[in-house]
């Protein structure tokens, strides 16, 4: 059972659970216990599974390791400490060495130094992809007592029979940064590794999870603990010390009137604001949302304010390991004025003292905001100081609500992906390398992992059939089969001499991105990267968005794309995939609620006379009495207050309606060139839900009008783009149909033919070992594979809907990328009227739809009747050619 532990133990109870040596060293070197330590020392030493969440700097790692070191110390004193691994510490961080030194090696050395300089006997070793061959050999001969590793390296270790012998005495597994694992396939992968490990050594170990803020926290505990039998969860205590750190937060609008200010002005003000914050502080950490954003900020700070390369630096996943370590080191030594990062510094890498964290643009989640801001403040007792600088009008409200939610402790929720078949494929191959299995034994082990507890027999058998190559003829299975599977006996095992190598070289959950670098033709300035699939859609002169700016496509050479700055105001081709993470549902609802409340207040403050309206367009309006009541209670600056007020006032005056969480505004309008009809749904529920809703409406519209429909989606709503007008009657009927449709099968039928499906399928195919990135020692890059996702997908569909790679692609799209259950719920509410709607006509898009129309991401719903579609296309080509001839 999962239990919350809310009453801390006393200091004496906690300390007396440590060995005398460890206790006296701890008391000498630490001023006292941090909040998590009041729980963890005792609970871990009693052998409980435990999940601890607390902010960075709260002595989290030590709270887990004191008890473990203490137990090893007892063994040493009894003379029973052997050259065996007693503890595995797993972290999702790639460059672990630095951290391990600070958090583990150093305390251990100090501990031994305090024992009159005794020789250190408890050993620590690191095992990652970077560990050298000789080091690995050494670890095999003399295993470290504490092994520090990554999820991927662990998956390899459990397939090493010789190393497994060293793991038989394992007592503890520590999973660090659990918030970075529980919500994705990487964590799912780890959960299976842990169950396999338990099975291989034939006993349970104590599981300790460490993480930052997480909600719902019991879900994370279930993920950590898993099941001890078919029906019974393992026990696990939860210690939540999340809210112990104080915060000082402010959302800043760079200009007084973000709606009317030019892009250039906003940009200038953003940078001068950043500069003034950097100047005020010793060390500032800036988070952007994308890698290209990081590069842009560095570039601008250097150019505008003459910062040197010794004073500011970028830190992101695409930099080399050396470069990243260099930056971390400079930060720790206090040499940098400022570091800029996308996500890589969000995790618990040790970076020394940060005075201030700036977030540029919305972090899209309350949890992420807390984590990022939590990187500031010298110690656990200090106040974390952070600002969000908003970048555009939609950001404005979103960011204001994010910090407001932090203040009110309203966290957004995460979910654990369930029954991911691609990850399962990898582990089944790994299991078959360990030994011969019966189907029932294997499935029993797999179902102990929380993400697979409800795995169906049929899905598991489909995986076995796939992996044994049953989708091709007998004579080809020699090449296709990774395992053998005896259907009659219900047994399976390893097959083929290359299988072990395939497993080692291809395991993991992070797909290879087929990124194409984008440069300017003049000056060859690197601007960022786009997906290969997106490049294949670009024609010369197409205008597209990259990192919030517009560029004109010129030409491409291999994996490089050349562009020039675009003069036009809108893209001719919208982006297909966003680099950005989706807005969380909980946050979306909070923003929707705010819209509802604030709209009422703003309405009372609006003067509909001419003077007010003319003032509005100059951006000189100030929030009125009612509006101020709401805005003054929020952690936002004065610019933000007046910008929010004028944003709402403009929408009210122009469109009369403000959408909210219980009211969807549907706006019929035209694009700038008046070429297409736009139907804008202001449904602020986050992209995961809008993705499902928009496709549902697009499919209905396509069938109603017999045309192809393209759409644009973002967190705040979606747009249907059509050649013909979708009239109000059609729209009302579509909403009426929401009560009768089966959204899941409708979507499944449709996403078959979309870009999203092609892209996700390729990722799933790679994770399922259908496309090997590395085979027989040959590394194959995606661009060299010479086969399009399109034909790969079409061919796999021929096998049938239960082919695991296809099934997983649908699952990932419907459950992970989209949020089908909630989308269904919103569709149902829209149908029943619980969520009301209003259809309006506007000449040009209303203020609330500008960002969506210009910068959302897109996909297409093709006509179901392909024959008719091609005939229409043919007709248009012929007409167009005739026109051209005239």
Partner 1 sequence: MNINKDIEAIEGIPILFIRPLSALVCSDLHLGYEGVAAERGIMLPKINFRKIREQIKLAQDHAHASSIIINGDIKNEFSKVHTEEFNEFNDLVRYLKEDLGIKNITLIKGNHDNFIDRLERPLGVRVERQQVLMDNFLFFHGEEPPDLNEENVLIMGHLHPCVSIYSSLGIKEKLRCFLVGKTRKNKELIILPAMSYYSEGLEVNSVSKSKLSTVLDSIAEINCLRALCICEEETLDFGTIQDLKLLNNKIL
Instruction: Using DSSP bridges, classify how beta strands 526-531 and 774-775 pair: parallel, antiparallel or unpaired.
Output: unpaired
Residue 85, token pair as written in the block? 């691994």
* Selected range binding partner 1 among 19-27, 52-60, 124-132, 859-867, rule: CB under 8 A: 859-867
Measured distance CA(46)–CA(1) in Å, rounded: 16
Phi, psi of 801 (to 5 degrees): -70, -15
541 in contact with partner 1 (CB under 8 A): yes
Q: Residue 854 interacts with partner 1 (CB under 8 A)?
A: no
Nearer to partner 1 (CB atom), residue 363 or residue 508: 508
Q: Which is nearer to partner 1, 772 or 830 (CB)?
A: 772
Residue pair 581/289 in contact by the 8 Å Cβ criterion: yes
Question: For the chain, how far is it from start to end, CA to CA, in angstroms?
Answer: 79
How many residues belong to the chain?
886
Residue written as tokens 């500032």? 284
Looking at the Cβ atoms of 230 and 877, the one nearer to partner 1 is: 877
Which residue in the set 266, 462, 666, 792 belongs to the binding site for partner 1 (CB under 8 A)?
Answer: 792
Q: Nearest to residue 721, comparing CAs of 775, 790, 653, 674?
A: 674
According to the binding rule CB under 8 A, does residue 860 interact with partner 1? yes
Q: Give kind and range of the element (H or E) at residue 249.
A: strand 247-252
The C-alpha angle 300, 302, 307, rounded to 5 degrees, equals 145
Residue 799 in the binding site for partner 1 (CB under 8 A): yes
632 forms part of the interface with partner 1 (CB under 8 A): no
Q: Pattern of binders to partner 1 over 326-345, x per CB under 8 A?
A: --------------------
Q: Which residues contact 214 (CB under 8 A, 6 or more apart)?
A: 53, 178, 179, 182, 220, 367, 411, 414
Cα 785 to Cα 820: distance, rounded to the nearest angstrom: 33
Q: Do residues 226 and 194 make contact, with C-beta atoms less than 8 angstroms apart?
A: yes
**Bridge partners (DSSP) listed for residue 2:** 236
- CA gap 110, 418 in Å, rounded: 44
Window of 132-140, 194-202, 623-631, 792-800 that interacts with partner 1 by CB under 8 A: 792-800
CA R_g for the chain: 29
Specify the stretch interacting with partner 1 by CB under 8 A; choose among 334-342, 380-388, 414-422, 866-874. Answer: 866-874
**CB 728 → partner 1: shortest distance, Å?**
22
Among 512, 727, 862, 864, contact with partner 1 (rule: CB under 8 A): 862
Q: Is 844 exposed, middle or buried (0-12, 13-18, 19+ CB in 10 A)?
A: middle
Q: Site residues for partner 1, window 711-730 (CB under 8 A)?
A: 721, 723
**876 lies in the binding site for partner 1 (CB under 8 A):** yes
State the nearest-atom distance from the C-beta of 186 to partner 1, in Å.
23
* Rounded distance between C-alpha atoms, residue 620 and residue 828, angstroms: 42
**Which parts of 518-537 interact with partner 1 (CB under 8 A)?**
537
- Interface with partner 1 in residues 770-789 (CB under 8 A): 770-776, 778, 780, 785, 787-788
Nearest approach, Cβ of 792 to partner 1 (angstroms)? 7
DSSP string, 819-858: -HHHHHHHHHHHHHTSSEEEEEE-SS--GGGHHHHHH-EE
Shortest Cβ distance from residue 496 to partner 1 (Å)? 12
Query: How many other CB atoms are found less than 10 A from the CB of residue 318?
Result: 16
Token digits for 661? 């969480």
Q: Please pick, from the candidates 710, 817, 829, 854, the single residue that binds partner 1 as defined by CB under 8 A.
A: 710
List of residues 6+ apart from 768 with CB closer than 8 A: 421, 422, 425, 426, 466, 804, 805, 808
Q: Judged by CB under 8 A, which of 203, 620, 656, 871 binds partner 1?
A: 871
Contact call for residue 884 and partner 1 (CB under 8 A): yes
Nearer to partner 1 among residue 202 and residue 801 (C-beta): 801
Pick between residue 571 and residue 623 the one whose CB is nearest to partner 1: 571
**Binding mask 812-851 vs partner 1 (x if CB under 8 A, - otherwise)?**
----------------------------------------
How many whole angstroms separate alpha carbon 7 and alpha carbon 470? 56
Residue span binding partner 1 (CB under 8 A) among the ranges 226-234, 428-436, 585-593, 769-777 = 769-777
Residue 501 as a binder of partner 1 (CB under 8 A): the answer is: no
- Position of tokens 């969506």? 852
Candidate residues 21, 412, 661, 708; the one interacting with partner 1 per rule CB under 8 A: 708
Q: Which of 228, 280, 600, 874 binds partner 1 (CB under 8 A)?
A: 874
Closest CA to 174 of 71, 35, 23: 71
Three-state DSSP state, 562: strand
Q: By CB under 8 A, what part of segment 435-494 binds partner 1?
A: 469, 471-473, 475-476, 479-480
Part in contact with partner 1 (CB under 8 A); list of ranges 54-62, 235-243, 522-530, 794-802:
794-802
Tokens of 210: 């460490």
Is residue 729 helix, strand or coil?
helix
Among 10, 791, 832, 836, binds partner 1 (CB under 8 A): 791
Q: How many residues bind partner 1 (CB under 8 A)?
A: 53
Segment near partner 1 (CB under 8 A); pick from 120-128, 264-272, 610-618, 868-876: 868-876
Residues 6+ apart with CB under 8 A from 798: none
Give 334's strand partners: none
Q: Which is nearer to partner 1, 95 or 780 (CB)?
A: 780
Instruction: Please report, as residue ranges, which positions from 676 to 705 form the binding site for partner 1 (by CB under 8 A).
Output: 676
| Beta carbon of residue 575, minimum distance to partner 1 (angstroms, whole number) | 13
Lookup: tokens for 795: 């061919």
Segment near partner 1 (CB under 8 A); pick from 148-156, 196-204, 662-670, 875-883: 875-883
Cβ-based nearer residue to partner 1, 407 or 868: 868
What is the contact surface with partner 1 in residues (CB under 8 A)? 469, 471-473, 475-476, 479-480, 537, 539, 541, 572-573, 675-676, 708-710, 721, 723, 769-776, 778, 780, 785, 787-788, 791-792, 795-796, 798-799, 860, 862, 866-867, 870-871, 873-874, 876-878, 880-881, 884
């Amino acid at each position: 059972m999962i239990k919350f532990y809310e009453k801390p133990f006393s200091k004496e109870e906690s300390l007396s659970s440590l060995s005398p040596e460890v206790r006296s060293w701890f008391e000498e070197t630490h001023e006292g216990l941090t909040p998590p330590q009041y729980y963890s020392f005792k609970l871990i030493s009693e052998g409980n599974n435990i999940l601890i969440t607390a902010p960075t700097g709260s002595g989290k790692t030590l709270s887990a390791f004191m008890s473990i070191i203490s137990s090893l110390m007892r063994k040493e004193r009894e003379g029973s400490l052997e050259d065996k691994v007693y503890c595995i510490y797993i972290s999702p961080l790639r460059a672990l060495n630095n951290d391990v030194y600070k958090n583990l090696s150093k305390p251990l050395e100090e501990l031994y130094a305090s024992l009159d300089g005794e020789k250190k006997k408890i050993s620590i070793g690191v095992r990652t992809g970077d560990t050298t061959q000789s080091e690995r050999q050494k670890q095999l001969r003399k295993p470290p007592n504490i092994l520090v590793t990554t999820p991927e390296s662990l998956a390899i270790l459990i397939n090493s029979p010789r190393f497994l012998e060293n793991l038989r005495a394992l007592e503890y597994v520590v999973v660090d940064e659990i918030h970075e694992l529980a919500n994705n396939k990487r964590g799912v992968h780890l959960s299976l590794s842990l169950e396999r490990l338990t099975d291989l050594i034939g006993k349970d170990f104590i599981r300790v999870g460490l993480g930052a803020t997480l909600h719902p926290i019991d879900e994370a505990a279930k993920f950590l603990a898993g099941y001890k039998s078919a029906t019974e969860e393992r026990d696990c205590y939860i210690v939540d010390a999340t809210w112990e750190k104080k915060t000082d937060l402010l959302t800043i609008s760079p200009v007084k009137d973000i709606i009317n200010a030019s892009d250039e002005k906003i940009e200038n003000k953003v940078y001068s604001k950043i500069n003034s914050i950097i100047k005020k502080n010793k060390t500032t950490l800036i988070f952007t949302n994308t890698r290209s954003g990081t590069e842009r900020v560095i570039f601008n700070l250097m150019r505008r304010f003459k910062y040197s390369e010794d004073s500011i630096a970028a830190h992101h996943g695409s930099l080399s390991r050396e470069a990243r370590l260099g930056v971390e080191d400079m930060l720790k030594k206090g040499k940098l004025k400022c570091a800029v990062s996308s996500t890589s510094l969000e995790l618990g890498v040790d970076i020394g003292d940060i005075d201030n964290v700036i977030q540029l643009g919305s972090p899209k989640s309350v949890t992420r905001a807390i984590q990022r801001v939590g990187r500031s403040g010298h110690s656990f007792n200090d106040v974390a100081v952070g600002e969000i600088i908003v970048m555009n009008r939609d950001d404005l409200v979103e960011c204001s609500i994010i910090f407001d939610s932090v203040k009110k402790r309203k966290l957004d929720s995460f979910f654990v992906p369930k029954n991911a078949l691609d990850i399962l494929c990898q582990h089944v191959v790994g299991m078959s390398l360990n030994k011969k299995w019966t189907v029932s034994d294997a499935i029993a082990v797999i179902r102990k992992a929380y993400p697979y507890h409800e795995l169906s027999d049929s899905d598991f058998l489909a995986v076995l059939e796939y992996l044994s190559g049953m989708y091709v003829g007998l004579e080809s299975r020699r090449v296709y089969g990774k395992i053998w599977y005896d259907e009659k006996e219900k047994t399976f095992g390893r097959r083929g001499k290359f299988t072990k190598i395939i497993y080692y070289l291809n395991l993991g959950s992070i797909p290879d991105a087929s990124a194409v670098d984008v440069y300017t033709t003049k000056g060859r300035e690197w601007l960022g990267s786009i997906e290969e699939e997106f490049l294949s859609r670009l024609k010369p002169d197409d205008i597209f968005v990259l990192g919030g700016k517009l560029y004109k496509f010129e030409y491409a050479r291999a994996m490089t794309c050349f562009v020039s700055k675009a003069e036009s105001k809108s893209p001719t081709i919208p982006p297909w995939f966003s680099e950005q993470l989706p807005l969380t549902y909980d946050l979306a609802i909070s923003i929707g609620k705010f819209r509802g409340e604030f709209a009422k207040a703003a309405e009372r403050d609006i003067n509909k006379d001419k003077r007010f309206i003319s003032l509005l367009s100059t951006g000189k309006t100030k929030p009125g009495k009612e509006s101020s009541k709401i805005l003054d209670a929020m952690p936002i600056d004065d610019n933000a207050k007046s910008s929010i007020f004028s944003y709402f006032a403009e929408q009210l005056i122009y469109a009369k309606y403000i959408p909210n969480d219980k009211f969807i505004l549907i706006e019929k309008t035209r694009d700038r060139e008046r070429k297409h009809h736009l139907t804008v749904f202001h449904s602020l529920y986050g992209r995961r839900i809008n993705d499902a809703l928009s496709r549902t409406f697009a499919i209905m519209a396509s069938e109603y009008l017999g045309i192809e429909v393209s759409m644009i989606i973002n967190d705040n709503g979606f747009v249907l783009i059509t050649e013909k007008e979708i009239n109000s009657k059609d729209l009302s009927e579509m909403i009426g149909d929401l009560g009768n449709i089966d959204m899941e099968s409708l979507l499944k039928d449709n996403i078959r033919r979309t870009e999203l499906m092609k892209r996700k399928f390729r990722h799933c195919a790679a994770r399922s070992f259908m496309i090997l990135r590395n085979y027989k020692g040959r590394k194959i890059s995606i661009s060299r594979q010479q086969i399009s996702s399109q034909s790969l997908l079409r061919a796999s569909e021929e096998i049938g809907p239960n082919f695991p790679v296809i099934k997983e692609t649908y699952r990932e799209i419907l459950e992970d990328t989209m949020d089908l259950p909630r989308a269904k719920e919103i569709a149902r509410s829209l149908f029943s009227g619980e969520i009301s709607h209003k259809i309006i006509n506007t000449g040009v898009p209303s203020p609330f739809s500008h960002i969506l129309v210009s910068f959302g991401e897109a996909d297409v719903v093709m006509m179901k009747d392909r024959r008719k579609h091609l005939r229409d296309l043919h007709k248009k080509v012929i007409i167009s050619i005739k026109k051209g001839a005239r």
